[in-house]
Amino acid sequence: MFGEVKIAPSILSGNFMDMERDIRMLEAAGADIIHVDVMDGHFVPNLTIGVPFVKQLRAITQLPIDVHLMISNPLEQIDWYLDAQPDYVSVHIEAVPDEDQLHGLLRHIRKRGAHPVLTLKPDMPIEALDPFIEDVDMILVMSVYPGFSGQSYIEGSEDRVGYVARLAAQRNPNLLIEVDGGVNADRTAGLVCAQGADVLVAGSGVFAASDPAAAVSAIRVAGEAAQPAGE
């Protein structure tokens, strides 16, 4: 909360026919983390990539890998993903309705050497996170409905970031706050970083840019500039 802002480009907006070139491009562009959107065509309407992709990605890059699991059955599949040795694994609160099971899943992710991350759709009350705030290293605030890149930021999502930042200040001061969806340098990176966001996912904002390195840097600069003075 309030410090260096990290940029996590989402490879969902990359070229699936030439992914290694895109990864090298992101490394050269100064990306801090690679965000991988796993969608199962059930939890969200879209279908993307899964375990083999994450394993192969792990083999070709040293950058931290952030796996965003948009799948209906994370309890059954989590070990497949953990075997691929990602750095961060996000699970959706909607996918594990039983509170004890979700506590257990987050503990399991940590035990297996990854940072546990909890996320939720924009229409899920943000207070649903409360019981799990000490279990996780990062909260992922979705600022679009998960499923597709290139959507517009849902206005007011920054208030959800502020809520998480206040909760973290009391109960988990080292917690990172990540924001995913419609993040851009012009406006929304500033909105969320003013409220305490640390990690900004950017798909179309990086890959559609004529100069992706400049885009990564512009998003970071815009986010850091919006942090309250003195923080």
Contact positions toward ligand DX5, by CB under 6 A? 10, 12-13, 35, 37, 68, 144, 146-151, 180-183, 201-205
d(CA 87, CA 110): 10
Closest CA to 8 of 173, 206, 192, 186: 206
Q: Interface residues with Zn ion (CB under 5 A)? A: 37, 68, 180
**Distance in Å, CB of 100 to ligand DX5, minimum:** 27
Closest CA to 134 of 103, 157, 113, 166: 103
Which tokens go with 163? 């809520």
Give residue number: closest CB to Zn ion: 68
Nearer to ligand DX5, 126 or 201 (CB): 201
Q: What, of ligand DX5, Zn ion, none, does residue 6 touch, CB below 5 to 8 Å by kind?
A: none
**Distance in Å, CB of 149 to Zn ion, minimum:** 8
**Distance in Å, CB of 205 to ligand DX5, minimum:** 5
Q: What, of Zn ion, ligand DX5, none, does residue 181 touch, CB below 5 to 8 Å by kind?
A: ligand DX5
Q: Which residues are catalytic?
A: 37, 180
Q: Please count the other Cβ atoms lying within 10 Å of the Cβ belonging to residue 217.
A: 15
Instruction: Determine whether 5 is exposed, middle or buried from the number of CB atoms within 10 Å of its CB (0-12, 13-18, 19+).
Output: buried
Q: Can you spell out the DSSP letters for 174-216?
A: T-EEEEESS--TTTHHHHHHHTT--EEEESHHHHTSSSHHHHH
d(CA 93, CA 56): 27
Q: What, of Zn ion, ligand DX5, none, does residue 182 touch, CB below 5 to 8 Å by kind?
A: ligand DX5
**Distance in Å, CB of 173 to ligand DX5, minimum:** 26
Nearer to Zn ion, 37 or 137 (CB): 37
